[in-house]
Amino acid sequence: MYTQTEIIKDTTQLNSNGNEGELVINVGPQHPATHGVLHLVITLNGETIKKIEPHLGYIHRSIEKMCESLTYRQFIYVTSRMDYLSAHINNLACALCVEKGMQIEVPERAQVIRILMSELTRIASHELWVGAMAMDLGAFTPFFYTFREREVINDIMEQTCGARLTMNYMVPGGTMYDLHPDFQNRVKAFIIQFTSKVTELEDLIANNIIFQNRTKGVGVLSAEDAISYGCTGPVARGSGVSCDIRKIQPYSGYEKVSFEEVLEPAGDSYARYLIRIREMYQSISIIEQLIDNIPEGDFQAKTKAVLKLPKGEFYTRVETARGELGVYIVSEGGTTPYRIKFRSPGFSNLSALNHMVKGSKIGDLMATMGTLDLVIPDIDR
């Protein structure tokens, strides 16, 4: 971390080198537009950004080290605290990895419930992003519109899982409880509400000339760079890179539902906005296909009380709302992982930020950074 004196020293060094007019400023760690404790050290020349250095770690808890002393049942709960907006999908990734190692067959009912929950999570996460992104650009109203729909999802989650954000509903072998009897009706009501209200967002944001001017052609990322920087999720798909793990390496029964992978070739902030809006429609379509066809049966496979993974290495990839989450478990045959690595989508997406904004105006920074959909606990872990 830079201390205050070091930054002043840096600035004077730059000036004495003849680079007059260059200025180093700090954005964060406490800043409304970073949505968490992210610290950016920005080198400016006038209004033009010359370099951005992210300083991470303000919310680093060393989850990977913690998991080394937790059992295969316990470590899943910690992962809800990584990307708290995709808690379900994080839990799912860990459960899938343990199931892969132990070769547990998950009942069909549990698989369908898992997809339903993942897609509801994705909608809730994208809804929050749309609101927050609009707020970053100075439009306050959409935030309330998107939270209206997001609240409904959170209430559905609360009813079935007992929690609104850190659900901890996925366990190795299936889900922790069965669905609430009212679940189907409430989800159907939500679909009607969502489809009738989502057009309001288009009127408020997408058709708004101020929003278009501020995002079109801003923060352009080419397909080649997106792959090289390891960008995934809506960020890469906004550059036309096909990277949806649900299509490439289907898990938990995604191969049985039909949906489209949304791609936009432009690579600018507006494309990334469009991707997320269209992904919500795709998620709704997946939910519509499954909500009346939840198979009867067990919601959890019978597993031993103490889980032991055989010696070896196991890797699962899932598609969270932000991109590809990888869970890499190295097992020595015991009840706890020998080494565990979470490949978080936000970490790689953030690494492309410097490349995306270099040479643009500082006013465009938030319009670019906002579309990366950064969740800081996911980056710091």
Partner 1 sequence: MQNEEIKEYIISQEPEAKFDETGEWLNVIINPLSWRLLAEKLKHADLQLDYLFCLTCIDWKTHLTMVYHLTSTKYRHSIVIKTDINRTAPQIETVSDIWRTAEFHEREVFELFGVEFLHHPDLRKLILTDDFEGYPLRKDFEDPINMIKL
The binding track of 187-226 with respect to partner 1, each residue x by CB under 8 A or -, is --------------------------------------x-
Q: Which stretch binds partner 1 (CB under 8 A): 29-37, 60-68, 209-217, 362-370?
A: 60-68
Q: How many residues does the chain have?
A: 381
CB of 124 to partner 1, least distance (A): 26
Stretch that binds partner 1, among 7-15, 38-46, 185-193, 340-348 (CB under 8 A): 340-348
Q: Taking the CB of residue 191, how many other CB atoms lie within 10 A of it?
A: 16
CA atoms within 13 Å, Cβ hemisphere of 106: 26
Judged by beta carbon, residue 92 or residue 113, the one nearer partner 1 is 92
Task: For residues 231 and 276, give the distance between their C-alpha atoms in angstroms, rounded to a whole number.
Answer: 15
Q: Are 131 and 146 in contact (CB under 8 A)?
A: yes
Q: Are 316 and 326 spatial neighbours (Cβ–Cβ below 8 Å)? A: yes
Residue selected from 9, 313, 359, 363 as contacting partner 1 according to rule CB under 8 A = 313
Cα 24 to Cα 271: distance, rounded to the nearest angstrom: 30
Q: Which of 43, 118, 348, 360 binds partner 1 (CB under 8 A)?
A: 348
Strands of the chain, DSSP E: 22-27, 30-31, 36-37, 39-45, 48-55, 170-171, 174-175, 312-319, 324-331, 339-343
The DSSP code for 249 is: S
The answer to the question of residue 70 lying near partner 1 (CB under 8 A) is: yes
301 or 330: CB nearest partner 1: 330
Residue 343 sits in the site that holds partner 1 (CB under 8 A) = yes
Interface residue with partner 1, options 21, 25, 60, 151 (CB under 8 A):
60
Tokens linked to 80: 């809800």
Give the phi and the psi of residue 299 in degrees, each rounded to 5: -100, 0
Task: Compose the 235-274 pattern: x for residues touching partner 1 by CB under 8 A, - for all others.
Answer: ------xxx----x--------------------------
Q: Whose Cβ is closer to partner 1: residue 91's or residue 316's?
A: 316
380 touching partner 1, by CB under 8 A: yes
Q: How far is the CB of 94 from partner 1 (least distance, A)?
A: 15
Only one of the segments 121-129, 181-189, 270-278, 347-355 lies at the binding site for partner 1 (rule: CB under 8 A); that segment is 347-355
Structure tokens at 132: 């927050």
Q: What is the dihedral of CA 356, 358, 362, 365, to 10 degrees?
A: 10
> Considering only residues 82-101, where is the footprint of partner 1 by CB under 8 A?
100
Site for partner 1 (CB under 8 A): which residue of 7, 66, 266, 291? 66
Stretch binding partner 1 (CB under 8 A), from 16-24, 39-47, 351-359, 365-373: 351-359
- Choice between 62 and 195, CB closer to partner 1: 62
Which of 314, 369, 373, 377 is close enough to bind partner 1 by CB under 8 A?
A: 314
Contact 361, 209 (CB under 8 A): no
Dist CA 98 CA 136 (whole Å): 39
CA 170 to chain centre: 18
CB atoms within 10 A of CB 9: 13
The residues that touch partner 1, with contacts defined as CB under 8 A, are 1, 55-57, 60, 62, 64-66, 69-70, 100, 225, 227-230, 241-243, 248, 312-315, 317, 324, 326, 328, 330, 338-339, 341, 343, 347-348, 350-352, 355, 380
